Amino acid sequence: MPKKTPTRIILASRSPARRKLLKELEIDFECHASGYEEDMNARKTAPALAKFLAFKKAEFVAHKYPDSIIIGADTFGTMNGKKFGKPKSITEAKKMIAAYSNNAMKVYTGVAVIKTSDRGTIIKKLSEHAVTTLHFGNISNQEIDQIIKEDDVMNVAGALTIEGHAGKFIHTIYGDYHNVIGLPLFQVEEMLKKL
């Protein structure tokens, strides 16, 4: 009887931060950026939207990888009923960061894990979400300019890189730190065990 090869694991993301986090689980994986276009205006609750977008990102590449496990993730922030995805301009990034000053925001990450058959059809799918609340201190206009200059604000949800300059303005974190970076590792590991 032929020996079955190990199932491939595909991270459907181009995010360097997610790649770095997934390496912490000490599993072999490949990356394939999902071309799914996010719609932050979908009429869903934040947890449902996070899981929906994560699933769509994984589903978008699933057919290309038979007999594989595909991991999709999507992260965004919310504050006062408004959703904060990746900014479309520096002006928008500045407005996002200014809104955080002396305020609290919630960061949601949806994670979807899809298993495909040897023909590339989806045979199992799981999705979870994580939420982390961040409390910020005062952020002056000069400090906002410094964050814009030093952090990769245009490529991250909410223009917020917690491990960058902006992180020093967060005085309290409730929830999973990895979630804020873009991949809640505990949930990912538990979901992989279920497949």
Report the catalytic residues: 74
How big is the CA angle at 1 (ends 3 and 115), to the nearest 5 degrees?
45
d(CA 194, CA 7) in angstroms, rounded, equals 14
Alpha carbon distances (Å) from 146 to 52, 140, 156, 166: 34, 10, 16, 9
Residues forming a β-bridge with 143: none
Q: Does an H or E element contain 127, and which? A: strand 122-136
